[in-house]
């Protein structure tokens, strides 16, 4: 999978840098082309000579020397993936705030390729609130964080914070960036975000959905080769993958029309939008003025998009719905699965910390038509999207 792939490996000043030697060796063995860039502190732990010998490339460390300037922009463009392993607290902090006092940071800030980091630190540093915040910022900027491992640490303590082993790092890179395009040739539609139901020209009824989960799913489907149409309600977000066709809508009715039309040619439909269940019966042509102590608004039921697709779907189409519940979660999720004729329901419970609206993370349980049930840990929404698409792939080729 890594054959011919260009990996730019950044090494920072941690005792775990000794593992970077094995990492380079394994990457080269897997057929990757590896260039190494080190921070000045990294040279205290491993020598550039070892790394240049193993990578068969000159090791870079300085922004410029007496007679040359390292082209950080071109290095970031050369790579298919920039991997920083080990990542120290110091470099993590600098990356998260955009500081740029060495070549590695300059490359990171100008890199157009995806970036992954493998943190390495002592347990207390790993659990420090600042470290957590910095990692969160990095993830929000699209950086993939390779989970640390538990074990003996340089301090002699035992706990979280050990850099992942080179084999785990390579597995992560393959899985994350070089996955086979298992949805090549498939067409998918995704609904996401809230809908706004207008009351008058200035007011609407809406909800707190950010659209993050649906946008992440659309990006993941596209990354795996599908041609994706994202039907997105009012949300500031945009898909990052260029193969996602974005169709913006405002109301439940517009989302319904767009989804029904696009579904005709779709193999996969993921309905993650928080569609308004009711919409004002009348939209006032002018701004509604304050006239009394109370105001009655008649609301009428919107069309249920998921249910409508379930009613027309053929046996080859795969339909995925979401359920956001506060109580009797499983019972309601299974009811939605049957009632709306979906193949899969992704449940997120508002009782779970870090799940649902607005969060960068989500904690889901997937229920499938054949009675299968999969519960997942709380994870960043990009990784949740990967779990959901993994199940979609399994079902579609079953």
Give CA–CA dist 310/312, Å, rounded: 6
What does the DSSP 8-state code read for residue 142? T
Distance in Å, CB of 302 to ligand CTP, minimum: 5
Q: Which residues contact 44 (CB under 8 A, 6 or more apart)?
A: 13
Residue (139 or 362) nearer to ligand CTP, CB: 362
Count of residues interacting with ligand CTP (CB under 6 A): 15
Give CA–CA dist 113/290, Å, rounded: 54
Give CA–CA dist 331/349, Å, rounded: 12
Give CA–CA dist 101/116, Å, rounded: 20
Give the residue, chosen from 188, 323, 385, 388, that forms a contact with ligand CTP under the rule CB under 6 A. 323
Distance in Å, CB of 271 to ligand CTP, minimum: 4
Give CA–CA dist 306/259, Å, rounded: 9
Residue (135 or 333) nearer to ligand CTP, CB: 333
277 binds ligand CTP (CB under 6 A): yes
What does the DSSP 8-state code read for residue 132? H
Of 79-87, 124-132, 226-234, 267-275, which segment contacts ligand CTP by CB under 6 A? 267-275
Other Cβ atoms within 10 Å of 134 Cβ, number: 19
Of 153-161, 235-243, 269-277, 368-376, which segment contacts ligand CTP by CB under 6 A? 269-277
Q: Tell me the CA distances in angstroms from 237 to 212, 213, 246, 341, one per residue in order.
A: 7, 11, 11, 30
Residues of span 333-392 touching ligand CTP by CB under 6 A: 336
Give CA–CA dist 264/312, Å, rounded: 9
Residue (152 or 331) nearer to ligand CTP, CB: 331
Catalytic residue among 57, 71, 90, 207: 207
Instruction: Give the distance from CA 352 to its chain's centroid.
Output: 19
Give the residue, chosen from 183, 188, 275, 333, that forms a contact with ligand CTP under the rule CB under 6 A. 275
Residue (34 or 306) nearer to ligand CTP, CB: 306
232 binds ligand CTP (CB under 6 A): no
302 binds ligand CTP (CB under 6 A): yes
Distance in Å, CB of 365 to ligand CTP, minimum: 14
Sequence-separated contacts (24+) of 64-70 with Cβ below 8 Å:
70/103
- DSSP E strand stretches across 173-249: 187-192, 197-198, 204-205, 227-232, 244-248
Residue (239 or 321) nearer to ligand CTP, CB: 321
Give CA–CA dist 117/148, Å, rounded: 10
Of 43-51, 69-77, 271-279, 372-380, which segment contacts ligand CTP by CB under 6 A? 271-279
Give the residue, chosen from 33, 122, 197, 304, that forms a contact with ligand CTP under the rule CB under 6 A. 304
Give CA–CA dist 250/234, Å, rounded: 6
14 binds ligand CTP (CB under 6 A): no
Do residues 274 and 207 make contact, with C-beta atoms less than 8 angstroms apart?
Answer: yes
Do residues 255 and 272 make contact, with C-beta atoms less than 8 angstroms apart?
Answer: no
Of 21-29, 133-141, 301-309, 375-383, which segment contacts ligand CTP by CB under 6 A? 301-309
Residue (59 or 213) nearer to ligand CTP, CB: 213
Count of all residues that appear for the chain in the document:
398
In the three-class reduction of DSSP (H, G, I as helix; E, B as strand; rest coil), residue 212 is classed as: helix
What does the DSSP 8-state code read for residue 391? H
Which x/- pattern over 37-76 shows residues binding ligand CTP (rule: CB under 6 A)?
----------------------------------------
Residue (169 or 273) nearer to ligand CTP, CB: 273
Give yes or no: 207 in active site. Answer: yes
212 binds ligand CTP (CB under 6 A): no
Instruction: Give the distance from CA 132 to its chain's centroid.
Output: 17
Residue (105 or 305) nearer to ligand CTP, CB: 305
**Contact positions vs ligand CTP (CB under 6 A):** 191, 252, 271, 273, 275, 277, 302, 304-306, 321-324, 336
User: Annotated catalytic sites, by residue?
Assistant: 207
């Amino acid at each position: 999978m890594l054959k011919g792939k260009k990996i730019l490996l950044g090494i920072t000043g941690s005792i775990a840098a000794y593992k970077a030697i094995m990492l380079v060796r394994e990457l080269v063995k897997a057929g990757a082309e590896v260039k190494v860039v080190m921070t000045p502190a990294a040279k205290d732990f491993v020598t550039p000579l070892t790394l240049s010998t193993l990578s068969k490339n000159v090791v870079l460390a300085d922004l410029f020397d007496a007679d040359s300037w390292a082209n950080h922009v071109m290095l970031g463009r050369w790579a298919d993936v920039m991997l920083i392993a080990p990542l120290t607290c110091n470099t993590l902090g600098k990356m998260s705030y955009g500081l740029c006092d060495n070549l590695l940071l300059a490359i990171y800030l100008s890199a157009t390729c995806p970036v992954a980091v493998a943190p390495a630190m002592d347990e207390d540093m790993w659990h420090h609130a600042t470290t957590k915040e910095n990692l969160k910022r990095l993830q929000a900027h699209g950086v993939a964080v390779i989970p640390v491992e538990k074990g003996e640490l340089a301090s002699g303590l035992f706990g979280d914070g050990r850099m992942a082993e080179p084999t785990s790092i390579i597995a992560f890179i393959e899985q994350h960036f070089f996955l086979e395009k298992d949805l090549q040739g498939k067409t998918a539609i995704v609904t996401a975000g809230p809908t706004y139901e207008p009351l008058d020209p200035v007011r609407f009824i809406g909800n707190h959905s950010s659209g993050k989960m649906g946008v992440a799913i659309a990006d993941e489907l596209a990354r795996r080769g599908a041609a994706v149409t994202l039907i997105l309600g009012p949300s500031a977000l945009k898909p990052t993958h260029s193969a996602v066709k974005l169709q913006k809508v405002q109301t439940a009715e517009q989302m319904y029309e767009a989804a029904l039309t696009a579904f005709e040619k779709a193999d996969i439909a993921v309905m993650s939008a928080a569609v308004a269940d009711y919409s004002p019966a009348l939209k006032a042509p002018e701004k509604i003025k304050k006239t009394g102590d109370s105001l009655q608004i008649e609301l009428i039921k919107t069309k249920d998009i998921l249910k409508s697709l379930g009613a027309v779907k053929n046996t080859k189409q795969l339909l995925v719905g979401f359920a956001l519940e506060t109580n009797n979660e499983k019972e309601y999720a299974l009811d939605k699965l049957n009632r709306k004729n979906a193949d899969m329901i992704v449940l997120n419970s508002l009782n779970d910390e870090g799940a649902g609206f607005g969060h960068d993370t989500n904690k889901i349980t997937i229920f499938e038509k054949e009675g299968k049930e999969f519960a997942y840990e709380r994870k960043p929404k990009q990784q949740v999207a990967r779990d959901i698409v993994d199940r979609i792939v399994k079902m579609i080729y079953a």
